[in-house]
Structure 1
Amino acid sequence: MANLQPITLSRHRDQRWARYTDYRFAAADTLAPLVVQELPKALMSLPIGFIEQQDGYGLVAVQSLQPGQNLFVGADGRWLGGYVPAVYRGYPFALAKTEEGQQVLCIDEDSGLVLEQPLPEEGEPFFDVYDQPAEPVRKVLDFLQQVAANRAQTATLCARLAEQGLIQPWPLKAKGADGERPVQGLYRIDEATLNALPADQFETLRQAGALPLIYCQLLSMQHIGRLGTLAQHHAQAKAKTKPAFASNDLFGAEDSLSFDWDT
């Protein structure tokens, strides 16, 4: 569980922070939330689905069919997929809401990336010499605000799809030591329902901007089989055998640690 603390002058003025160097912090994430702006790149390497949330449906990258496992994170912490979800690229920062509903920038103080007694050139400052947020922190905040704004749009589009009955259970099975078991809680676009939509309802979805989401999700389902390839890679690594392929060649890995939205 993250220990998110608001970034304040009184608490963080003399502290610094370090950028993450691997993705071990995401190694137990079976799913990663996505927003619609990510989909054109995410669909190139990640299976995308929906999950049911308290306030409707949400978009997710499916990173494993087994709980507590992220197949896209290698044993060395390297990202094994081409696209890194935005939720990870802001780490160790996150936005949180105050009791008044305002969003504040926080940092996970249990991340190991907050430097309480840093050396002079170690890490990045939280604040500049004028006691204003330092430029790297401002960039992180801008990035996270973009994601948050797009999350609201994503929720609206998912609600439109649900209203038309397009979001249906995804009949997946996971293989384990005790055989196959059905995967619960994952949803997909039902193509038969989509094709049967009356023209006026289809036009409503088009005008709402929901069609790119629909087609990105459908196209991304081709990657569900790659989870098996990744599972094999992990098994080989665990057995200390040389894998049949280089981990960074699995999907043309894009291992940038940039905070740029389009990474």
Structure 2
Amino acid sequence: MTTNFMPLLYKNPQPLNPEQHDGLTLNLSSGFGFASATNSVPLVIEEFGATCRDYVIVFSTGELPMPLVVLGVQPTHNAYVNPKGEWAADTYIPAYVRRYPFIFSETEGSEDLTLCVDVDAASVGKGEGVAFFNDKKEASELTQQGLEFCKNFHIQLQQTREFCEALQAADLLVDQQASITLAEGETQNLSGFRIVDEQKFRQLPAETLQKFHERGWLGLIYAHLISTGSMGKLVAQLKHNPAPAA
């Protein structure tokens, strides 16, 4: 699994300012080709309900596991983005992807956040598109929307970390791997991720269950467990958009 959390997909994020980026525009119809070369992206807990219907939700390995949505089997292939840069129809698009090319940068030792944009994104340039700044060099509606989106995402990210810390503290996450049989009969292995151990979950102390209930975390765990039955949807998507031959 792809496990680098930030800034996956980004090449050259720069603090957005009118002095440096006046005249820069965003092509809103450029598609999702920027997300075509990853088999997973980060997820925040607000998305679990929508995501579990279309994808498998897993957790990354590492000191603090974080939720990931599985998008493919091979590390550099997203089965949900076709060669034209189109995301699979009628399928939920993760917020991490929808946020691009905007992103917050955090100053070490400070709570200050700075809105950045990936200036190397194919959708960013000085051609046709929506400007980041107006004629008065003020943030355009596009930039204000990007700022608001990043604010909400950042808040949800903190809540997601808290949820994952609780899973870790309760020792609920276990390493897992999956063997996937593709339509052609070929078998591929997916590894490097964690899932909630159902047996450990059922054996949680009443006090811990009560805490999870009060925080709204039980529903998140159920959504995750339900999503693990969606591997067949990934196989079906790989049939429509197979990974390129090695």
**TM-score range normalised by the length of the shorter chain:** 0.7 to 0.9
Q: Per-residue CA shift, 1:198-242, capped at 9, x if unaligned? A: 22221122123211210110111121122211122124x979xxx
The answer for the alignment partner of 2:3 in structure 1 is none
Matches within 5 A, 1:166-205: 166-174=172-180, 180=187, 182-205=189-212
The answer for the alignment partner of 1:90 in structure 2 is 99
- One-letter amino acid of the counterpart of residue 188, structure 1: I
Which has the larger Rg?
A: 1
Q: Per-residue CA shift, 1:77-122, capped at 9, x if unaligned? A: 2111610000111222211123454211111111122223x4xxx3
1:196 deviates by: 1.5
Matches within 5 A, 1:60-75: 60-75=68-83
1:73 deviates by: 1.0
Gap change, CA 1:46 and 1:139, over 3 Å in 2: same
Q: Figure out how many residues of one structure are paired with residues of the other and give that number.
A: 233
Matches within 5 A, 1:32-47: 32-47=41-56
The answer for the alignment partner of 2:154 in structure 1 is 148
Question: Does structure 1 retain, via aligned residues, the 8 Å contact 2:27–2:129?
Answer: yes
Greater Cα offset, 82-91 or 223-232? 223-232
Q: Structure 2: how far apart are the matches of 1:207 and 1:9?
A: 45
Matches within 5 A, 1:1-263: 2-54=11-63, 56-80=64-88, 82-99=91-108, 101=110, 102-116=112-126, 118=127, 122-174=128-180, 180=187, 182-235=189-242
Q: TM-score, normalised on structure 1?
A: 0.81
Question: Does structure 2 retain, via aligned residues, the 8 Å contact 1:169–1:185?
Answer: yes
Matched position secondary structure for 1:223: helix
Q: Which consecutive residues of structure 1, in runs of 5 or more, have no partner in the other structure?
A: 240-263
Matched position secondary structure for 1:169: strand
Question: Does structure 2 retain, via aligned residues, the 8 Å contact 1:175–1:181?
Answer: yes
Q: Structure 2: how far apart are the matches of 1:78 and 1:212?
A: 31
Matched position secondary structure for 1:111: coil
Q: Structure 2: how far apart are the matches of 1:16 and 1:181?
A: 41
Q: TM-score, normalised on structure 2?
A: 0.86
Question: Does structure 1 retain, via aligned residues, the 8 Å contact 2:180–2:235?
Answer: no
Question: Does structure 2 retain, via aligned residues, the 8 Å contact 1:20–1:91?
Answer: no
Identity of paired residues, percent? Answer: 28
Greater Cα offset, 75-84 or 146-155? 75-84
Root-mean-square deviation over aligned CA pairs: 2.4
1:128 deviates by: 2.3
Question: Does structure 2 retain, via aligned residues, the 8 Å contact 1:66–1:174?
Answer: no
